[in-house]
């Protein structure tokens, strides 16, 4: 996770810079659809919580998102009400485009605000044959008569080799 972490009262010299990054990301959400979720953390790291869709999760277009000091402000499209949440901790996951907010008044709660991501349909293959042709990884499943071809850059090939150990 490419994370930016800001924490209230932290002596970390990069704390102010982290807050500026979060403020910039938050303000760019203006007019965009977001998913708003809230979970009880029970001491777990925000990334480790179950963020699968639940009954009270919301999706809405966010309007006028601002970060002033340590307070997050926003409105829902079509509503006049300006909402706010004072944070004790803000963690921005740039990869997932998600902001995890720990409210100062509720330290056991984590609010996740994220830009909805596309849902990928998984395909299960039993790799009968795996080959590399130039920069293309070819995986064939003879049982299902499927072939998957993935063209990879040199960096992606190096990362795949490193991941495979």
pLDDT of residue 1: 54
State pLDDT tens for residues 35-58: 999 999 988 999 899 999 999 999
The pLDDT, as a whole number, for residue 61 is 97
- Contact predicate 33/115, CB 8 Å: yes
Least confident piece of the model among 41-50, 72-81, 100-109, 122-131: 122-131
> Could you tell me the pLDDT band of residue 142, with boundaries at 50, 70 and 90?
confident
Express each pLDDT in 60-80 by its tens digit.
999 999 999 999 999 999 999
pTM, entire model: 0.75
Which has the closest alpha carbon to 102: 123, 125, 74, 92?
A: 92
Map out the domains of the chain as residue ranges: 3-114, 129-164
Q: Which CATH class, in words, describes the domain spanning 3-114?
A: mainly beta
Average pLDDT over residues 101-126: 91
């Amino acid at each position: 996770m490419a994370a930016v972490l800001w924490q209230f009262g932290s002596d970390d010299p990069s704390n102010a810079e982290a807050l500026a990054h979060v403020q910039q990301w938050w303000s760019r959400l203006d007019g965009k659809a977001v998913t708003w979720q809230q979970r009880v953390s029970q001491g777990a790291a925000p990334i480790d919580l179950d963020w699968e869709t639940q009954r009270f999760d919301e999706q809405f277009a966010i309007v006028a998102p601002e970060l002033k000091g340590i307070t997050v402000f926003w409105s829902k499209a079509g509503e006049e009400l300006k909402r706010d949440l004072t944070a004790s901790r803000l963690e921005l996951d740039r990869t997932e485009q998600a902001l995890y907010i720990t409210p100062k008044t509720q330290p056991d709660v984590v609010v996740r605000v994220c830009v909805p991501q596309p849902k990928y349909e998984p395909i299960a293959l039993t790799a009968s044959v795996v080959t590399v042709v130039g920069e293309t990884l070819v995986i064939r499943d003879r049982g299902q008569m499927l072939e998957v071809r993935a063209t990879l850059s040199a960096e992606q090939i190096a990362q795949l080799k490193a991941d495979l150990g």
